[in-house]
Amino acid sequence: MHSRLPAPALFLLFFALTASAHAVQVCDLDGQSVNPANGNTTAGKTGLMRCRDGAGGPLQREQELRNGVFMGLVRQYRDGFLQREHQVNERGNRDGIAREYAATASPNQLLLEETMRDGSNVGLTRAWHPNGRLRRVSFMDDGGRELASARFTPQGQLSELRCGPRPVLKPDVADDALCGHASDKPVTVGLHGEDGTLRSRLTHERGERRRSELLWGNGQVRELQEMGTTDGSERSFSADGVKRREQRWVAAADGTRSRRVTTLDQEFHESGKLVRERRWRVTDRGGELELEHTWYLNGQPKARLDYLSVDNQPARRDTQFHDNGKPASEGLWLLKGRYDTVASGVHKQFDDTGRLRRERFHDGRGRVNRERDLDEAGAVTRDEEVFEDGSRKALGR
């Protein structure tokens, strides 16, 4: 039977194994040994504490003490090379300029520089690629919101751009020019991928985005967005330039803000023919669907659904078509809920020449209570009353 070591013994064994694999951190302040985990060794002291990976080992960190309080400069090292440096305030929060480095032999490339205010980012933040080229620049306002940013590839080409209401990225990025702040006309810039390929184009007017183009690998437009002050549109295309979808929207007031309300949604076949369309009316509650329309590939209408109000109740009039464009059926439905519909009035069916061939009459509960069939000449060939149990009776008998 195997005996189990008590928990304290296991902890000591783990510590011993760990200590044998990693040297113990050794810290000093002006040549005097201190232990940052033991406040008695740092009480009342001022200066720069240095900690190494074992006695005489590579530097691991430097931290400033002010009258026994860790406050001021903090540096962290990796394999003896500077990796991070920043300042902390009396609350222990980062405050001031903070930097990160590659932690390599000279030159030790600066990778990140940001401004902190009591633990929060403010102002400019800059990042660099390992090759020294600028990677990203952003600007945060006093509330912690990012107002503008720009990103670059390792080759120095612009890859992302977000414009603010005013230029804030200089001197690193001329966002006054890129975002149209310095021009009376909209300004278009190209965005590139890591391989140098042009991936998209953005157009801004005094910081407001007016147009966005996402490109296929062959340079054709894949997605196109156009934004005005009160409306806009979105279109998508196949790689060979055929439009496959289009949406339109307007800006509607929503309290103190405005929101987009879709007014049109169209879908196109790969041949470019319109096959589906939906339209919305703008109301105080947003957008209400008013029309759905589909087409056959031969261009003839396939179905039309009109949304309307009947006696202050939402309703939908359905019309189906033969592929020659002649109506196949039509009828009115009352909309009782999202998925609940009740047939109303007379529903009609037509042959492929457009002649009326059948009528179905509905009562107030949506139940069929009468059916009529007609011949090609329009004469009634069957006229029956329909009862709840499904039984029928010829009218006039």
Contact criterion met (CB below 8 Å) for 130 and 113: no
3-class DSSP string for the chain: CCCCCCHHHHHHHHHHHHHHHCCCEEEEECCEEECCCCHHHCCCCCEEEEEEECCCCCEEEEEEEECCEEEEEEEEEECCEEEEEEEECCCCCECEEEEEECCCCCCCCEEEEEEEECCEEEEEEEEECCCCCEEEEEEECCCCCEEEEEEECCCCCEEEEECCCCCCCCCCCCHHHHCCCCCCCCEEEEEECCCCCEEEEEEEECCEEEEEEEECCCCCEEEEEEECCCEEEEEEECCCCCEEEEEEEEEEEECCEEEEEEEEEEEECCCCCEEEEEEEEEECCEEEEEEEEEECCCCCEEEEEEEEEECCEEEEEEEEECCCCCEEEEEEEEECCCCCEEEEEEEEEECCCCCEEEEEEECCCCCEEEEEEECCCCCEEEEEEECCCCCEEECCC
Contact 371, 360 (CB under 8 A): yes
Domain ranges, ordered by start, for the chain: 25-118
pLDDT at 253: 78
Residue 13 contacts residue 20 (beta carbons within 8 Å): no
Each of the 397 residues of the chain gets a pLDDT tens digit; together they read 444 444 334 333 443 443 344 568 899 999 999 999 999 999 999 999 999 998 889 999 999 999 999 999 999 999 999 999 999 999 999 999 999 999 998 889 999 999 999 999 999 999 999 999 999 999 999 998 999 999 999 999 999 999 999 999 999 999 999 999 999 999 999 999 999 999 999 999 999 999 999 999 999 999 999 999 999 999 999 999 999 999 999 998 777 778 899 999 999 999 999 999 999 999 888 899 999 999 999 999 999 999 999 999 999 999 999 999 999 999 999 999 878 999 999 999 999 999 999 999 999 999 999 999 999 999 999 999 999 988 999 986 5
Average pLDDT, the chain: 92
- pLDDT tens digits for 160-201? 999 999 999 999 999 999 999 999 999 999 999 999 999 999
- Residues 64 and 45: their CA atoms lie apart, in Å, by 10
